[in-house]
Amino acid sequence: METISIKTKSRNEFVDLTREINQAVKKSGVQEGLCLVYVPHTTAGITINEGADPDVVSDILQHLEEMVPAGKRFLHAEGNSDAHIKSTLVGASQLIPVTGGKLALGTWQAVFLCEFDGPRARNVFLQVVPVGK
């Protein structure tokens, strides 16, 4: 298993990890297979969306905030229930096909760590698994 360790900078933020993940896929030597990208955290997530226009990420973050406002009253005493709910909406992992030794992403797709309770130190676990033809 490979680990990407990063420090996020804001409470809510998407961090594009496409390049680092493709480097890990290359290092694994797997040409055809699957890459599991997973966060072992309860207030973060992994998503795939547009990496070209940063306004897309801004719009997603703004609308998640409108859906689950941080200032709302929640039971969880730690005060970060909005971050837990956003994490569950986004999900903790993505499974991405690998072909030709790299992620089979569309032209505009990027893989993001989603931070909902930063700034924090975060780990992203990667497992690259070969698949027979």
State the residues that interact with Zn ion by CB under 5 A.
Answer: 78, 80
Q: How far is the CB of 76 from Zn ion (least distance, A)?
A: 5
Smallest distance from Zn ion to CB 78, Å = 4
Which of residues 53 and 78 has its CB atom nearest to Zn ion in the complex? 78
**Which one, 8 or 80, has the nearer CB to Zn ion?**
80
**SS3 category, 67:** helix
Looking at the chain, list the stretches that DSSP marks H as alpha helix, in order from N- to C-terminal side: 18-28, 54-67, 81-90
Cis peptide before 97 (omega within 30 of 0): no
Distance between CA 53 and CA 89 in Å, rounded? 22
CB of 37 to Zn ion, least distance (A): 23
**Backbone Cα Rg of the chain:** 16
Rounded to a whole number of angstroms, the minimum distance from the CB of residue 80 to Zn ion is 4
What 3-state DSSP class applies to 100? coil
Which of residues 28 and 80 has its CB atom nearest to Zn ion in the complex? Answer: 80
Sole residue written with tokens 């290092």: 27
CB closer to Zn ion out of 86 and 98 = 86
- Among all residues, whose Cβ is closest to Zn ion? 78
